Amino acid sequence: MNSLIERLRTRRLASVFVLLATLSVAIVAGSFAAHGVRGQEKQNDSSDATPLKVVNSTVPPNEFVKIAKAVGPAVVNINTQTFPKQSNNKGRRSFHGHVFQQPQSPDDNGDDQGQQGQDQQGQDNFQDFFNRFFGGQMPDQGGDQGGGVQESLGSGFIVDPKGYIITNNHVVEKADKIYVKLSTDPDTQDLGRPARVIGTDKATDLAVIKIDTNTPLPTVKMGNSDAAQVGDWVEAIGSPFALSQTVTAGIISAKNRTIEPGASGQFQHFIQTDAAINPGNSGGPLLNMNGEVIGVNTAIFTQSAGYQGIGFAMPSNTVVSVYNDLISPSHKVTRGSIGIQFREGLSGAVNRVYGFKNGVLVQEVQPGGPADKAGLKAGDIITSIDGRNIKDGDDLVNEIASRRPGSTARLGYIRDGKPVDTTVTIGDRDKVFANLTGPQMPAAPEEQGDAGEATLGIVVHETPQAMASKIHAQGLLIESVRTGSFADLQGLVPGLVITHINKQSTATKAEYDAIVKKLKTGDDVVFEVIDPRHPEAGINYIGGTLQ
């Protein structure tokens, strides 16, 4: 038995040696094939290879090519510079070089604002993934308060040959300097042509800026966003990552997307698209296959700060309406309001108990507001306006907001199960909303006006005596600060009290008006302010050069 096992082992070893020998011969043969007999490398012979030639044929341009050529010259690159300044940015966060207000608690959502019962943590997490655009902060610059000049990049498009341009508010918000570069401007022109802000609207995140020109500029055509359909092809043009005149294409993925809860999303009903949109595209056009602008690229939903196939554009029909208001003498968007609060997303149980399928259940009525004067009460269910049935809160908000303050509307509502109707006079949403959410400010006499609103961008009122006693000083209370204004850029905020301007007392409105009327471009303006919430901090000095 042992001898048999030994013979088998011997045969296995012999087979292995034969296999190794065979492999060795193959390797040696391959080596000789690759090298000459004397070990020198053999020259490769490619005499039988045929040289390549470029085929001189033309591909008919498709619609994307035609649109890019036609619209491209009207799409601009926007550069902004923000200088370091003393400001109070508490409660704000920076996304890619732009500063945004933190999502606010829905407790104070006013007039026609659907209140959302969502906790703050949930909103913060959502905001972390939903980034507005932006144009990124340049990598060699410091942080928000790091002391360096912040440079940001965005896009826009020309709508008037005289140099009027539409872009996003967050592209130019807080900027001290704005520059616009046309597609025909030479690369040697570092930043571009100086631009100024004509008007902004935070509610829709839109802005109108203007550059001076001696010759008519190319413009875009505004299309009808209501006619656009899910599945339609669209094309986006902009400057992602500073790469100007970048063209991407996709389809309309959805319409009427509201992506922020509460008051911040009241007037933002976006077109969703999968056309590639990235940092720097913000403010650029979204075009249909007729080469017409049907949206302004505004935001993306992303977990990587880059393109993930979900972008949002403000519909052109909204853009046109806002633009027309911003180029008006007031340079602001005026929206109607009736002074109510309501809650969106009510359960079916609420509808059944209160006896309605469509409509708006009033949660709170602002005392002294338009709805209060018309007799509406909490618990009423608004079902119609001027005979047209109201579907939900968005429907009511859009209808009321589109009407001018001072006009009237007939509201149908249900109270205690019985249909009732009343006539309401539409109010100014900004004023009603300020009453609902802001500190109670003493009203200024209409005939006084405000000399600082045009020059400085602020509205002030004389400080109530109780507050003056608390801060041990006389001054003027800031009621509102216009976005992008001189006062806004210096860091002034509502609620501060101005006691002096350029060392001159502003104890009375007359003193303030006299000082402000003398100010002109190039003057240094220094405010001495006190925060009534922290009077112990004393006087704060805030100022800059009037541009």
Q: Could you list the active site residues?
A: 170, 205, 282
406: alpha, beta or left? (left if phi > 0; alpha if psi -120 to 50): left
Distance between CA atoms of residues 531 and 406, nearest Å: 36
- DSSP string of 339-401, one letter each residue: -EEEESS--HHHHHHHT-SSSEEEEEE-TTSHHHHTT--TT-EEEEETTEEP-SHHHHHHHHH
Running DSSP on this structure, what letter comes out for residue 27? H
Q: By the 8 A CB rule, do 420 and 412 touch?
A: yes
Q: By the 8 A CB rule, do 191 and 180 touch?
A: no
Neighbours of 536 (CB within 10 A): 6
Using CA atoms, how far residue 452 sits from 271, 431, 446, 542, in Å, is 39, 18, 15, 16
Distance between CA atoms of residues 238 and 381, nearest Å: 46
What's the distance, CA 250 to chain centroid? 21
- DSSP string of 171-240, one letter each residue: HHTT-SEEEEE-TTS-TTSSS-EEEEEEEEETTTTEEEEEE--SSPPP--EE--GGG--TT-EEEEEE-G
Can you give the three-state secondary structure of 419-450, one letter per residue? Answer: EEEEEEECEEHHHHHHHHHCCCCCCCCCCCCC
Burial of 77 (0-12, 13-18, 19+ CB in 10 A): buried
Report which residue type is found at 225. Answer: S
| CA dihedral sign of residues 416, 419, 425, 431 | positive
Largest CA distance in the chain: 125
| CA dihedral sign of residues 110, 111, 117, 119 | negative
With vertex at residue 515, the alpha carbon angle to CA 452 and CA 544, rounded to the nearest 5 degrees, is: 70
What's the distance, CA 298 to chain centroid? 5
Structure tokens at 396: 């009511």
Q: By the 8 A CB rule, do 374 and 422 touch?
A: yes
